[in-house]
Amino acid sequence: MEHISEEERKSTLKSICAINLKKSPGTHTTDNASLNKVANEDSNYIERQFLLYNPDITICGGTGDLFKGIAGFCEFEWKRTNRGIWWYERAPKKYVIAYCHPEARVDNPLIVYGLIDAIREIYS
């Protein structure tokens, strides 16, 4: 990462989308019933926000199936990387990846390198 310039980072990050499906604060542990309820109530807003960004890569932090339904991507079938990461191509060269939440109780290097490995495989 040290060899990547600030300009390169900014350019790359513009193609990645981060959206909270729950638009209000919560606790350290997600109540799935509550998340499903509020995300479905806000589905029009979430879909409009996502279309505004139109990202190349979307990483769902533990919410892959919920996002798929809310964003209107139900017709796409999940695929799986060799290491078990679920993903689908929602449009040409535009991917949605079901992955763990960044605050998961896992060592950060495992999260980062697991995701990098999945993205490399998806793009190859």
pLDDT at position 115: 92
Q: Compute the half-sphere exposure of residue 48: CA atoms within 13 Å on the CB side of its CA.
A: 4
- For the chain, percent helix, then strand, then coil, each to nearest 5? 40, 15, 40
pLDDT in 10s for each residue of the chain, 124 residues: 578 888 988 888 776 666 788 767 666 667 778 888 988 898 898 888 888 888 889 999 888 999 999 988 999 999 999 999 999 999 999 999 999 877 777 777 778 899 999 999 999 9
- pTM across the whole model: 0.79
Other C-beta atoms closer than 10 Å to the C-beta of 68 total 19
**Residue 11: exposure state from Cβ atoms within 10 A (0-12, 13-18, ≥19):** exposed
